[in-house]
Structure 1
Amino acid sequence: MTRNALLPAALAGVLLAGCSPVQDLFSPPKAAPYATSPSTASWTKPPAGYLKTGMNLDGALIVGPPPAPDSPRGKADRATFETTRKLAGTPAWDHAIADADLSGAHGFKSFSCAAGVTIGPEATPTLANLLLRMTDDAATLYQPAKAVFQRPRPPVGNTRPICVPREPWIETDGSYPSGHGLIGWSWALVISEVAPAHASAVLARGREFGDSRVVCGVHYPSDIEAGRYLGSALVSRLHQDPAFLADLEKARAEVAASRAKGAPAGCGAS
């Protein structure tokens, strides 16, 4: 996903995954447009990250500025926000609500289904802790960039439906780059390493995790793209950290042991 023409294609995966048939994608909402999802769960404080001394990475420099509102790409971003508001109440909306949760529970389940192996504190404790520690490291990369650009989120200044409650952070937390886009993609890169036979499905899940934020209405597509750039940068930097590498090796063994116990439960159509 690199330019305007590719933005609809990048979003299509999550929309098609969440809605069927295709003509139902933009039907009127079938439920109350303001979904209930506890935002506090989305931002549960993770354990301390690996990179205590800093990453020596400048997130703002890596991603560059967001598109100007009146540029072709800025206008495409806004058009995508307006169009996807019609998804309120659809299965894609429900997926977006679930993907808003960064506390681990839903993310572990959804990545388990993609990886074909149970991931979580009981089955794979090292891997689960590793992923949560990565969310702490991610914040040290995307938060300074958000502060530099201070891009307002799509719902600021309007009352269009979004998939999370309109809490104060909607107004104060910058839109660019996306922390969820970063975390979803970085998790996918790491899980694909420890479950390489399912790498394509895992990476698709990581893409959908970011796309859900566009469906949710709290990010523009260019925010998600920038987050993925930073996710790749984060994983590259983590591969230079001895503690991370040691945990990654333990995680490989955990995944192998978890796989031997059978496929994860409850994956079905989700």
Structure 2
Amino acid sequence: MRGSPAVSAAALAVTALLAGCSSTPFGAPVASAVAAPAAMSAPAHAGGYLAVERVEALAGSVPAPFADSSAEQAADRALSDRYRAYEGGDRWLLATAHAELSPRLAAQHFDCALNARFASAPTPRLTALFDKVLKDANGAAELAKTRVFRPRPVGVDPSRAACTTVSAAGRASASYPSGSATVGSAYGEAMAALDPAHAAAAREIGHQIAVSRVVCGMHYPADAAAGEVLGRAVFAQIAATPAFQADLEAARAELAAVRATGLTNPGCAAERAALALPLP
């Protein structure tokens, strides 16, 4: 694909989406001897479904990124560069929306997948569930980042545009594995559990949140791929906890109340158009 997609009426509708198709998996990372900077330390973890020891073990399961100066690293960076074609277009604007992963708002990314409008009724239990999933998934990803350091695309090239405001410190922060991809994937799994009839569509949105980080230039494709794998692994352990199962039942009652309003997200057509764009 050459050049940026044109900004259209669909793009404006995507911008209006607080949350929100076929997908191609990113390449898998390979072992590397890259060392993390000595100043980096493990982040604290508390308040999720999983014990600290489980989060640490999950973080330790993440393979190292591509070796510096390797052919795989060069190919990953070249693929990342091809995503520049989306700057300013429909998929870029959707990626901007996907950058919002706070528990209170992130459920709205799944409006179209679940044929619901999560802003139409209170969902405190679902928000609490997402908050715990976020803590576990992001905690594992951030801990994994302390083991090795891979710079972000926007860090390697300071002139590269990001679809959200990024500080100098943010550009210089670690890229592997993608924390947003980890969280997005775990959210997708949680939504699939919440509404099994729309499980495939929910998981696809979780995947597209990971793709959005590559579109944004915040992560390389391999960073996002590793984050997705980690997010699914985190959720698999979350799903086995009695606390999650109890919260899930309460969240299902909220989903029923949301659907009872009869409202749907008016931006779904724009989302479908953005996701239909071919990726590099």
Q: TM-score range by the shorter chain?
A: 0.7 to 0.9
Amino acid at match of 1:179: G
Residue 125 of structure 1, CA deviation: 2.0
Q: Deviations over 1:76-108 (max 9, x none)?
A: 210122111122111111111111112246532
Residue 243 of structure 1, CA deviation: 1.8
Preserved CA contact (<8 Å) 1:99 1:106? no
Specify the alignment match of 2:191 in structure 1.
191
Specify the alignment match of 1:170 in structure 2.
170
Specify the alignment match of 2:137 in structure 1.
138
Preserved CA contact (<8 Å) 2:58 2:234? no
Amino acid at match of 1:137: D
Residue 190 of structure 1, CA deviation: 1.0
Greater RCO (Cα-Cα under 8 Å, separation 6 or more): 2
RMSD over aligned CA atoms reads 2.4
Specify the alignment match of 1:98 in structure 2.
97
Preserved CA contact (<8 Å) 2:67 2:73? yes
Gaps of 5+ in 1: 1-24, 32-36, 38-46
Specify the alignment match of 2:27 in structure 1.
none
Secondary structure of 1:26's match? coil
Residue 246 of structure 1, CA deviation: 0.9
Q: Deviations over 1:222-257 (max 9, x none)?
A: 111111111111111212322222101211222233
CA distance in 2, matches of 1:251, 1:51: 19
TM-score by length of 1: 0.77
Specify the alignment match of 1:4 in structure 2.
none
CA distance in 2, matches of 1:110, 1:171: 25
Preserved CA contact (<8 Å) 1:98 1:106? no
Q: Does 1:205 align with 2:181?
A: no
Q: Deviations over 1:163-206 (max 9, x none)?
A: 12230333442100111111111111111111111112111111
159-168 or 181-190: bigger deviation:
159-168
Residue 123 of structure 1, CA deviation: 3.5
CA distance in 2, matches of 1:163, 1:265: 23
Q: Does 1:26 align with 2:6?
A: no
Specify the alignment match of 2:218 in structure 1.
218
Specify the alignment match of 1:228 in structure 2.
228
Amino acid at match of 1:252: R
Matched length: 232
CA distance in 1, matches of 2:266, 2:189: 23
Amino acid at match of 1:145: A
Specify the alignment match of 1:67 in structure 2.
66
Specify the alignment match of 1:238 in structure 2.
238
CA distance in 2, matches of 1:50, 1:253: 20
Secondary structure of 1:141's match? helix
